[in-house]
Structure 1
């Protein structure tokens, strides 16, 4: 059974937490060994490292990181979604500190019982645990956990703000040098946005936009799309060409977003007095992708295909349709019984010498 795109994305957001905790745990261990040595050292509260203890500790640290990642992605992200960056970090540190103390309460006695080759309820185990809690070793472990927690939460907030895939591409240097690739683009624009903004006012309109983007995101994920930019009330969604035309994801994405938004129309009417709708233009072609910027780095796409897609979307009102796709994209799409293509004419797009044949989908 294949995993859904949403599940894959959730897993991909949780796994880095486990890796961050594991790598930092190994780093702290290496630093301690380098500073103190590998013999019988330190106070009686310290657990001597052995292969069994190392494996057990690695699994515990990895498990803690994954569990924190799961809580963060599935639950706490939503709970503190309206708080500032600093407030979120502070609240989460408090929540996780309580959790981590519980982990120590469970893991330390088990590790001691492994070292002493005895059962976990042996009085010697709990005497060592008490000695540990009142020692500097506890302070050291707490500092290490606090650092791991802060770094993993900082990663979570940064990846949430700039996008996990973009952050990964920055780390790997995938687009450090410009590359040419074929992509599908969808320019999606809210209908009558100026009128809606004037009716609601700036603050209320911003709240509507926030919910509007949230309601469209699941359909984008289900159809393997990537949000390239939010520009006011416009969303630019992109796919690598192969992924965009696989199962006609790019077209299915449009109708899935329409469906999801229609299901929420009653809520929008009760909350804002208006139900937002949108129109979209789709096109495909070659773009150059790379990092750019001196004061602020971004990964951007450049090429005529973006300008053409924007202008195709702008023709929706002219042809009185909600979706227009180019002939270039129509030729790439797979046969699909769910939707039909209908030619609506040819158009000379500004900045292009040749006319473009256009289609709508119903």
Structure 2
């Protein structure tokens, strides 16, 4: 029986948490800066809520929850609503939405904070007098600027994360690969069948739209099996796993079949929209790679090692063997396939450009 959170849920949580952290840190910085700068003196004393321990705790919890709420809305809704706009237009549209949203939030939160400071009910007349003073003073403008700045930082983080990939961005921040390291990884090279013919029939624009849909439909299968997209190369995708994640529960094998299922379920939709239902072939292998940051004008985290060339060569043999999936016997020997899969030996072959031979296997579900 499976227990715990699914990989997709864990990924979403790990993407939402930075929003809360960004908002909390910015909130603290601005809160203390304003308190020190004002020296308890303000141009609008009747509308200002002074910093007490209770107010600080309430403000911290509120800002943290607000940041997490922004992250939730961003990932589960707005990320898709504005996905077809440019970066500048997307951020501007989202900020317009959030400003209106925040105005509503402030109308709720300010009276609560004021009631805590005054030790009265939120419905007390003193609270609403203070709220009116605040709305007509510079502190209200300052609050809007603070929210806008926090919002801009969190949206900027979101867009950079989306473009680089969350895992890559995290590795850049933590400096995990600032110094090259050697690690054991599993790679899958996946290539669309008859892509040249499909591209010629559809034309450049329609083919590009097909690729966007095609890549998107693989997302859940990759995430749910702990895979990481290393590269998109035309119609080819390179997926990678740490050795432990790829071996555990046969994630690297299950990912292939989950992607197959995803395309099969949407075959009619592809036929209706593009006049063709794409299929793919893949090669799978593992080995040691050196992983590190590289580049002067553009930083990337890359893998170098013979395993990448070998996996690409294995994938290139799918047509020769007339199968969709080829795996090295070396990797199969590391897996615990039990009775879920049937393996068929393809023999030993010498890969192009290689001196050593490789034993190959194809796998099918029972």
TM-score for both structures, normalised by structure 1: 0.98
Cα shift readout 1:112-165 (whole Å, capped 9, x = no counterpart): 111111001111100100000000001111101000001100110110000011
Q: Please state how far the C-alpha of 1:36 moved relative to its aligned partner.
A: 2.2
Corresponding residue for 1:193? 195
Corresponding residue for 1:333? 335
Pick from 7, 10, 27: which aligns with 1:8? 10
| Aligned positions of 1:175-254 closer than 5 A | 175-254=177-256
Pick from 67, 70, 88: which aligns with 2:69? 67
Corresponding residue for 1:109? 111
Cα shift readout 1:144-190 (whole Å, capped 9, x = no counterpart): 10000011001101100000110010011000000000000000000
Determine if contact 1:280/1:324 at 8 Å carries over to the other structure.
yes
Pick from 267, 276, 294: which aligns with 1:292? 294
Pick from 281, 294, 313: which aligns with 2:283? 281
Q: Please state how far the C-alpha of 1:351 moved relative to its aligned partner.
A: 2.9
Cα shift readout 1:191-234 (whole Å, capped 9, x = no counterpart): 00000000000000000000000111110111110000000000
Cα shift readout 1:330-361 (whole Å, capped 9, x = no counterpart): 11111332111111011111232210000000
Structure 2 regions of 5+ residues with no counterpart? none
Distance (Å, rounded) in 2 between the aligned partners of 1:212 and 1:175: 30
| Aligned positions of 1:1-362 closer than 5 A | 1-37=3-39, 39=40, 43-362=45-364
Distance (Å, rounded) in 2 between the aligned partners of 1:60 and 1:337: 52
Determine if contact 1:40/1:48 at 8 Å carries over to the other structure.
no
Distance (Å, rounded) in 1 between the aligned partners of 2:120 and 2:41: 20
- SS of residue matched to 2:341: coil
Q: Please state how far the C-alpha of 1:40 moved relative to its aligned partner.
A: 6.1
Structure 1 regions of 5+ residues with no counterpart? none
Determine if contact 2:35/2:51 at 8 Å carries over to the other structure.
no
* Higher mean C-alpha deviation, range 218-227 or range 349-358: 349-358
Distance (Å, rounded) in 2 between the aligned partners of 1:340 and 1:10: 34
Cα shift readout 1:23-77 (whole Å, capped 9, x = no counterpart): 100011121133223x465522111111110000001101110111111100011
Distance (Å, rounded) in 2 between the aligned partners of 1:138 and 1:72: 25
CA RMSD of aligned residues (A): 1.0
Cα shift readout 1:269-307 (whole Å, capped 9, x = no counterpart): 111110000000000000000000000000000000000
How many residue pairs get aligned? The number is 361
Distance (Å, rounded) in 2 between the aligned partners of 1:304 and 1:33: 58
Distance (Å, rounded) in 2 between the aligned partners of 1:320 and 1:35: 73
Distance (Å, rounded) in 1 between the aligned partners of 2:9 and 2:139: 39
- SS of residue matched to 2:188: strand
Distance (Å, rounded) in 1 between the aligned partners of 2:320 and 2:90: 46
- SS of residue matched to 1:254: helix
Determine if contact 1:21/1:61 at 8 Å carries over to the other structure.
yes
Q: Which runs of 4+ in 1 moved over 3 A?
A: 39-42
Distance (Å, rounded) in 1 between the aligned partners of 2:292 and 2:190: 23
Determine if contact 2:186/2:243 at 8 Å carries over to the other structure.
yes
Determine if contact 2:191/2:235 at 8 Å carries over to the other structure.
yes
